[in-house]
């Protein structure tokens, strides 16, 4: 009998968190949409223009126009749009401004979540930045598209619809910043773009997706356990400037000259995509010298990251050693407490 109870409890615990696809009309959540540059709002006249749409001259679709072209969204949420402008996100200060803007919108008790449309090339970087700096447990969903909105078989309309559904779903709260594309929900900390053109490009590699935006429901199978959003130590209101950090690739014959050049150009930190478990080859000696003489801290990581985690060595302040944080996953292992 005890074994039967244990089995019943185990089965109950394994049932994923789900929410129905369509809420009661009188209880629709409000989702706020902010638009950024990228492929999703592109609107080429040629429906086969999958490559050079940025050069054809047609204006992007504004946030309001995007929502108007997906009337089905009204079944899932009350949607408001920030403005007709497309926010940039290519510089640290622009990311800070975006984070503060999203924080301000989430303070509105009427807003259940925020969706930000983003270009797919750096979607994972912005998502991870917001994951460490947004100070709310309300969902922030980043969404992009591999094909322009007006092209044949575009993934843009459904991706945007699903992002809004996820942002409106109560089960999305407390899971940090989410990336929604191709019906899949990924954690900002884990996701990466794996292919230039394919729709299934966003993957979390060995860690796996969080859940799905299925036609009938939003379903989560796991939740992030590392610190994020409200638990993160970073506070944008207390950060005036961002130190310059350069990213380098290690290779056979690396003599450290690029590291020297980066520091001479003003870098206060170096992230080195190393070999093996984060090895920096012959540049290791130069990195040590740079640390001892300038205080620049280096982080070495293996990229792309195969399965498995490796022991890390914590970087220390100027005048002490070791200076290199060596790990197999490039993103979070450099600051593996997050």
Residues with catalytic roles:
39
Tokens 């925020």, located at residue: 114
CA 88 vs CA 62, 240, 337: distances in Å: 14, 19, 29
In Å, how far are 209, 227, 336 from 174, measured between CA atoms? Answer: 16, 11, 20
> Distance (Å, rounded) from C-alpha 218 to C-alpha 167?
10
């Amino acid at each position: 009998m005890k074994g039967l109870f244990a089995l019943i409890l185990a089965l109950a615990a394994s049932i994923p968190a789900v929410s129905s696809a369509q809420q009661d009309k009188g209880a629709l959540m409000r989702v706020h949409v902010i638009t950024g540059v990228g492929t999703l709002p592109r609107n080429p006249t040629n429906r086969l223009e999958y490559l050079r749409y940025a050069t054809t001259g047609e204006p992007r679709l504004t946030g309001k126009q995007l929502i108007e072209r997906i009337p089905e969204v009204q079944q899932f949420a009350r949607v408001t749009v920030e403005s007709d402008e497309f926010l940039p996100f290519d510089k640290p200060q622009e990311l800070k401004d975006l984070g503060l803007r999203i924080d301000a919108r989430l303070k509105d008790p009427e807003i259940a979540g925020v969706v930000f449309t983003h270009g797919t090339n750096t979607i994972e970087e912005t998502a991870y930045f917001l994951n460490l700096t947004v100070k709310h447990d309300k969902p922030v969903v980043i969404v992009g598209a591999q094909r322009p909105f007006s092209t044949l078989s575009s993934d843009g309309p459904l991706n945007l619809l699903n992002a809004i559904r996820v942002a409106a779903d109560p089960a999305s709260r407390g899971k940090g910043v989410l990336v929604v594309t191709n019906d899949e929900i990924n954690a900002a900390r884990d996701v990466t773009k794996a292919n230039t053109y394919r729709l299934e490009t966003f993957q979390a590699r060995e860690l796996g997706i969080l859940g799905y935006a299925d036609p009938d429901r939003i379903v989560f199978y796991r939740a992030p356990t590392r610190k994020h959003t409200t638990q993160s130590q970073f506070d944008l209101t207390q950060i005036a400037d961002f130190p310059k950090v350069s990213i380098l690739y290690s290779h056979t014959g690396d003599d450290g000259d690029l590291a020297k050049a980066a520091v001479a150009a003003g870098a206060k930190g170096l992230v080195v995509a190393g070999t093996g478990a984060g090895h920096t080859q012959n540049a290791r000696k130069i990195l040590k010298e740079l640390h001892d003489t300038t205080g620049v801290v280096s982080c070495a990581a293996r990229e792309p990251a195969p399965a498995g985690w490796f022991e890390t060595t914590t970087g220390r302040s100027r005048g002490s050693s070791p200076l290199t944080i060596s790990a197999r996953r490039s993103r979070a292992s450099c600051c593996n407490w997050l």
